[in-house]
Amino acid sequence: MTAKKRVRRTAKKRVHRELKKMLGFKARDPDATVLRAAKRASSVFCKPCWELRYCPYGPLVEDFPAVMPTRSEAVEHNEYMKRCLETGTVGDGTKPLDSKRRAWFKAEVRRFRAADYPEEIPKEIADMGCSVFGHICPVVYTAEGFTETSQGRRTGRYIPFTIKMRVVRRDNYTCQHCGKHLEDPEVEFDHIIPISKGGSSDEHNIRLTCHDCNQEKSDRVDI
């Protein structure tokens, strides 16, 4: 690997000081330490909305820190506020800019510094955010490594033989993505919520796929 490639790869993993502050770290804390903590927090427990298909926290989500915008997004929004101040309108230009919002926009534009925003959000940190509101999912802070049943949650990649057999019978030797009928050697087991994103190896999170569909899905959450 050339020195140029090493620098580029390292730069992609840099953690902006404001992101560190958001996660409770100090600016001088090593980037690697922050990323390891973020990766663990976003992978040990999956977001409840992925399993339940709704957010059980509701408005509580807004009490948790929001993943900040990237530098390009922040600059774009700052330019929008400038245009609003110049034209005296908001949105598509048909609604007037009221005095309260004008004062807020002026204050925001005055203290805006592009350097206060990261050029990109590392995937380890982005994975912790709510896909709807952008706030850090409360499960990152509140979840525990146990369940309300007497049986623990299977978090490893190993799938017991009994679970494999139940899944095969349940899915009737059929790929749950493309509908192809599978022979024994063609059967593959797909984690609906990937292990890397906190998914379990329990029966409800496993389904049959063919090789092509399993490779295409990779580590995406596909419910």
Query: 89 or 201, which is more confident?
Result: 89
For the stretch 159-183, pLDDT in tens is 888 888 999 999 999 999 999 999 9
Q: What is the pLDDT of residue 146?
A: 47
Question: Would strands 188-191 and 206-209 be described as parallel, antiparallel, or unpaired?
Answer: antiparallel
Count of domains in the chain?
3
- The C-alpha atoms of residue 175 and residue 182 are separated, in whole angstroms, by 7
188 phi and psi angles, rounded to 5 deg? -130, 150
Residue 60 sits in the same domain as residue 132? yes
- Work out the percent of the chain whose per-residue pLDDT is above 70: 85
Domain-located, residue 10: yes
Predicted confidence (pLDDT) per residue in 20-45, tens digit: 998 889 999 999 999 988 888 777 67
Specify if 149 maps to a domain: no
Same domain? For 110 and 174 the reply is: no
Is 22 within a domain?
A: yes
Same domain, 90 and 167: no
Say how far apart CA 171 and CA 193 lie, in whole Å.
Answer: 17
- DSSP letter, residue 197: G
Specify if 100 maps to a domain: yes
| pLDDT digits 0-9 by tens, 175-214 | 999 999 999 889 999 988 887 777 778 888 899 999 999 8
17 and 111 inside one domain: no
The beta strand positions in 107-205, using DSSP E, are 188-191
150 is a domain residue: no
DSSP track, 31-96: HHHHHHHHHHHHHHS--HHHHHSS-SSGGGGGGSPBPPPPHHHHHHHHHHHHHHHHHTEETTTTEE
Nearest to 122 by CA among 202, 50, 19: 19
pLDDT of residue 124: 85
Q: Which pLDDT belongs to residue 155? A: 57
Is the confidence at residue 13, as pLDDT, over 80? no
- Residue 35 has which token pair? 């990323």
Domain that holds residue 50: 3-67+120-142
Residues 138 and 187 in one domain: no
Q: Check residue 151 and give its pLDDT.
A: 53
Average pLDDT estimate for 103-123: 94
Mean pLDDT of 120-126: 88
Per-residue pLDDT at 114 exceeds 60 = yes
pLDDT of amino acid 12: 52
For residue 140, pLDDT over 70 is answered with: yes
